[in-house]
Structure 1
Amino acid sequence: MSKNTAFIHDDFLLENKYSQELYHDYASKMPIIDYHCHLPPKDIAENTQFENITQVWIYGDHYKWRALRTLGVDEKFITGNASDREKFMKWAESVPYTMRNPLYHWTHLELARYFDVYELLNPKSAETIYQETSSLLDSPGYRCRSLLEKMNVETVCTTDDPVDTLEYHQKVAKNPFSTKMAPAFRPDKALFIDSEGYNTYLDKLENASGVTIDSYTDLCDALKNRIAYFHANGCKISDHGLTCISAVPFSENGIKAIFKKKRTGAPVSEEEALKFQSSLLLFLAEQYHEKGWVQQFHLGALRNNNSRMLKKLGPDTGWDSIGDYSQAESLSKFLNTLDTKDKLAKTILYNLNPADNEIMATMVGNFNDGSAKGKVQYGSAWWFLDQKDGMTKQINALSNMGVLSCFIGMLTDSRSFLSFPRHEYFRRLLCQLFGDEIQRGELPSDMEWIGKLVQDICYNNAKEYFKF
Structure 2
Amino acid sequence: MKNFMDEKFLLSSKTAQHLYDNYAKDMPIIDYHCHLSPKEIYENKSYKTIADIWLDGDHYKWRLMRANGIEEKYITGDASPYEKFLAWAKTVPKIIGNPVYTWTHLELQRYFNIYVALNEDSADEIWESVNSQLNREGFGVRKLIEASNVKVICTTDDPVDSLEYHQQLKESNFETAVLPSFRPDKGLELNRDTFKDWIGMLEESADIEINNYEDFLAALDARAHYFHEVGGRVSDHALDEVLYEEASLEEVSKIFARAKSGIKISRSEEAKYKTYTLNFLGKIYSKLGWVMQYHISALRNNNSRMFDKLGPDTGFDSMNDGQIAEPLTKLLNSLEKDDALPKTVLYSLNPKDNPVLASITGSFQGGGIAGKIQFGTAWWFNDTKEGMLSQMKTLADMGLLSQFIGMLTDSRSFLSYTRHEYFRRILCDLLAGWVENGEVPNDDDLLKPMIQNISYKNAEHYLGFNKKAENLTIS
TM-score (norm 2): 0.96
Map of 1:202 onto structure 2: 199
Map of 2:350 onto structure 1: 353
Secondary structure of 1:178's partner?
A: coil
Instruction: Please report how far the alpha carbon of residue 168 of structure 1 lies from its aligned counterpart in structure 2 after TM superposition.
Output: 0.8
Map of 2:360 onto structure 1: 363
Q: Deviations for 1:37-84, whole angstroms, at most 9, x for unmatched residues?
A: 001111101001111111111111000000001111111111111111
Instruction: Please report how far the alpha carbon of residue 251 of structure 1 lies from its aligned counterpart in structure 2 after TM superposition.
Output: 1.6
Q: What letter corresponds to residue 213 of structure 1 in structure 2? A: I
Instruction: Please report how far the alpha carbon of residue 412 of structure 1 lies from its aligned counterpart in structure 2 after TM superposition.
Output: 0.3
Map of 1:322 onto structure 2: 319
Instruction: Please report how far the alpha carbon of residue 204 of structure 1 lies from its aligned counterpart in structure 2 after TM superposition.
Output: 1.2
366-375 vs 316-325, which moves further: 366-375
Q: 1:17 aligns with which of 14, 19, 25?
A: 14
1:357-396 mapped onto 2 (5 Å cutoff): 357-396=354-393
8 Å contact kept, 2:300–2:317: yes
| Counterpart Cα distance in 2 of 1:371 and 1:448 | 24
8 Å contact kept, 1:358–1:397: yes
Map of 1:305 onto structure 2: 302
Q: What letter corresponds to residue 168 of structure 2 in structure 1? A: K
Map of 2:35 onto structure 1: 38
| Counterpart Cα distance in 1 of 2:252 and 2:436 | 59
| Counterpart Cα distance in 2 of 1:352 and 1:417 | 23
| Counterpart Cα distance in 1 of 2:242 and 2:290 | 19
8 Å contact kept, 1:160–1:184: yes
Secondary structure of 1:288's partner?
A: helix
| Counterpart Cα distance in 2 of 1:271 and 1:333 | 16
8 Å contact kept, 1:214–1:263: no
8 Å contact kept, 1:243–1:325: no
8 Å contact kept, 1:6–1:118: no
8 Å contact kept, 1:294–1:466: yes
Map of 1:104 onto structure 2: 101
Q: 1:156 aligns with which of 153, 157, 178?
A: 153
Q: What letter corresponds to residue 54 of structure 1 in structure 2? A: A
Q: 1:114 aligns with which of 99, 102, 111?
A: 111
List runs of 5+ in structure 1 lacking aligned partners: none
Secondary structure of 2:198's partner?
A: helix
Map of 1:82 onto structure 2: 79
Q: 1:277 aligns with which of 266, 271, 274?
A: 274
Q: 1:408 aligns with which of 405, 420, 429?
A: 405
1:245-260 mapped onto 2 (5 Å cutoff): 245-260=242-257
Instruction: Please report how far the alpha carbon of residue 371 of structure 1 lies from its aligned counterpart in structure 2 after TM superposition.
Output: 2.1
Secondary structure of 1:142's partner?
A: coil
Secondary structure of 2:312's partner?
A: coil
Secondary structure of 1:181's partner?
A: strand
| Counterpart Cα distance in 1 of 2:454 and 2:45 | 32
| Counterpart Cα distance in 2 of 1:142 and 1:5 | 34
Map of 1:187 onto structure 2: 184
8 Å contact kept, 2:2–2:9: no
Map of 1:398 onto structure 2: 395
Q: What letter corresponds to residue 127 of structure 1 in structure 2? A: D
Secondary structure of 1:347's partner?
A: strand
Q: What letter corresponds to residue 408 of structure 1 in structure 2? A: I
Instruction: Please report how far the alpha carbon of residue 370 of structure 1 lies from its aligned counterpart in structure 2 after TM superposition.
Output: 4.1
| Counterpart Cα distance in 1 of 2:6 and 2:131 | 23
Instruction: Please report how far the alpha carbon of residue 441 of structure 1 lies from its aligned counterpart in structure 2 after TM superposition.
Output: 1.2
Map of 1:138 onto structure 2: 135
Secondary structure of 1:391's partner?
A: helix
Q: What letter corresponds to residue 424 of structure 2 in structure 1? A: R
Q: What letter corresponds to residue 336 of structure 1 in structure 2? A: N
Secondary structure of 2:117's partner?
A: coil
| Counterpart Cα distance in 2 of 1:454 and 1:294 | 22
Q: What letter corresponds to residue 17 of structure 1 in structure 2? A: K
Q: 1:171 aligns with which of 168, 183, 187?
A: 168
Secondary structure of 1:47's partner?
A: coil
411-420 vs 366-375, which moves further: 366-375
Q: Deviations for 1:104-144, whole angstroms, at most 9, x for unmatched residues?
A: 11111111011011000000100110110011011146311
Instruction: Please report how far the alpha carbon of residue 340 of structure 1 lies from its aligned counterpart in structure 2 after TM superposition.
Output: 0.9
8 Å contact kept, 1:37–1:411: yes
| Counterpart Cα distance in 1 of 2:157 and 2:264 | 28
399-408 vs 237-246, which moves further: 237-246
Secondary structure of 2:160's partner?
A: coil
Secondary structure of 1:450's partner?
A: helix
Q: What letter corresponds to residue 194 of structure 1 in structure 2? A: N
8 Å contact kept, 1:412–1:422: yes
Aligned residue-pair number:
465
Is 2:431 aligned against 1:466?
Answer: no
8 Å contact kept, 1:153–1:179: yes
Map of 1:28 onto structure 2: 25
Q: 2:88 aligns with which of 84, 91, 116?
A: 91
Q: What letter corresponds to residue 171 of structure 1 in structure 2? A: Q
| Counterpart Cα distance in 2 of 1:112 and 1:159 | 28
Instruction: Please report how far the alpha carbon of residue 5 of structure 1 lies from its aligned counterpart in structure 2 after TM superposition.
Output: 7.6
**Identical pairs, percent:** 48
8 Å contact kept, 1:160–1:183: yes
| Counterpart Cα distance in 2 of 1:265 and 1:389 | 45
| Counterpart Cα distance in 1 of 2:428 and 2:138 | 31
| Counterpart Cα distance in 2 of 1:142 and 1:425 | 25
Instruction: Please report how far the alpha carbon of residue 208 of structure 1 lies from its aligned counterpart in structure 2 after TM superposition.
Output: 1.1
| Counterpart Cα distance in 2 of 1:108 and 1:367 | 41
8 Å contact kept, 1:8–1:112: no
